[in-house]
Chains A and B, each alone.
Chain A
């Protein structure tokens, strides 16, 4: 029997990520900017790398919390610049899809980080860690930190949910109704970026991305309203995290792939439910 205490911190960590990411996932799929999370994660990483280089902080200073504040502020700064660019360039005069700009930002951020870190050894390992994360070894302190960020951003989005939903559902309408549509759009990207920084630190880009896209995709197949989608996504995400973590310990394999495979299976299930439903509808007609 696996000791429950051991699995609790990663499970609570996953829970927070699922709660917020399913919500953002529904937005992101509707807006067709799927890779925004990987891009923001990489832009934040570039920010912290630049911050470290500017203030000459070595990566091994992790023990001193205060020395990491400056790189964090740099991350936030870079994310706000990116959010500003994404918000401003989503314009009818610019005929390229936003996802293309997001992709380019991702590529540039990654390669610039490589240029900055050029001489530092072991960057392969760094890339690997950032992809996979180490959620199994997360501490209560880190979970708490994530929890606080999720609760703050989450409440912000609950309070102003109508504005954010309108921006995603129909931009022209939002531009008519809202006083500052671009400001709210900026806040959407920026708040998501803040969440991504914390989530990726704990769970790695891959797991965070999986929680963002797959549960929301499942609920897109089987549900229509925002509330029903959210609840379906949450159930899928939390179930996959719970069994994923347990299997990962039992089989002694990394947790990220196991969670993803489980989510993938759920998605397949959701797809068949959708097929069955639409086949049923066709017979009705």
Chain B
């Protein structure tokens, strides 16, 4: 028992920490309606890594990582600039196009790198079971400045998320907070996707926030509840995967994802409060 706990402690601790950070961002993303942003960001970061390798740096080298971060942040800046007062094209469509082009470019580059197609599928998988305490300390340290920034500017960023681009004179300010939001989000995604895999990150972002949004309306409560739902879902998923011997990422994803549908159908057909 104790052995099992020691073995499962790093994955549990890491998913609980990540569930917290991702729940926070997830509520923003749900309110902004830019659901697939993290898959696009992950693909852009993977493209950045491939460019680094193509230039001649080693895959795990600091230079490659810096290129990947730099590339991602540049695209994020571009993306936040594309938000205009009158949105002709929905932002989600722009995200889709970014994703599509990034993936297309990655496929082209994959031809030039030996075993290049590995880098394309690499973002898809990921295994929380292999997380080490070193990894955990590493990403927690990286998240601290992100969290501090959001504690300081949280109110402003929240306003942008909930009320859209705002009125004319505020557009400059709005863009500034958008920029802050997208850059910090980019950093979190680039850091967490290699550890957890794209689908686990995606589900931890969207699923708890969705479940909570059906019932809870206050912003702060939504974030805290999402964190709780995400953590419980992750721990339960890890436990199920441990006893049924399936991979833990897919187990958590399926558990949390199916829960969203169950909760939504429950709300629709069974739970009907008088005030509607």
Contact = CB atoms under 8 A, between A and B. Distances in A.
Contact of B124 (A127, A213, A267): A127
A64 B261 CA distance: 37
Contact of B89 (A29, A100, A209): A29
A259 B213 CA distance: 40
A256 B107 contact: yes
Interface string A32-51: 10110000000000000000
A77 interface: no
Given A96-B264, A101-B261, A104-B207, A217 B105 contact: no
A213 B202 contact: no
B93 A257 contact: no
Question: Secondary structure of the B side of the interface?
Answer: helix
Contact of A104 (B121, B260, B267): B260
Interface residues of B, number: 49
B126 to A, nearest CB: 11
A217 B258 CA distance: 32
Given A35-B36, A118-B247, A256-B104, A105 B30 contact: no
Contacts of B146: none
Nearest to B109: A257
A183 interface: no
Interface in B25-54: 30, 33, 35-36
A128 interface: yes
B247 A114 contact: yes
Given A29-B89, A103-B202, A127-B124, A93 B276 contact: yes
A217 B87 CA distance: 12
A217 B268 contact: no
A108 B253 contact: yes
A112 interface: yes
Given A91-B268, A94-B268, A261 B213 contact: no
Contacts of A5: none
Interface stretch (B55-63, B94-102, B173-181): B94-102
Contact of A107 (B120, B121, B199, B268): B199
Given A35-B36, A94-B268, A128 B117 contact: yes
Q: Which 4 residue pairs are nearest across A and B when measured between Cβ atoms?
A: A260-B104, A108-B257, A111-B250, A257-B104
12 contacts: A93-B276, A96-B264, A107-B253, A111-B249, A112-B254, A115-B247, A127-B121, A128-B120, A206-B100, A213-B93, A261-B104, A264-B101
Given A34-B92, A104-B203, 15 more contacts: A29-B89, A32-B33, A34-B36, A91-B268, A99-B35, A100-B30, A104-B206, A107-B202, A107-B257, A110-B124, A114-B250, A118-B246, A217-B93, A257-B108, A260-B104
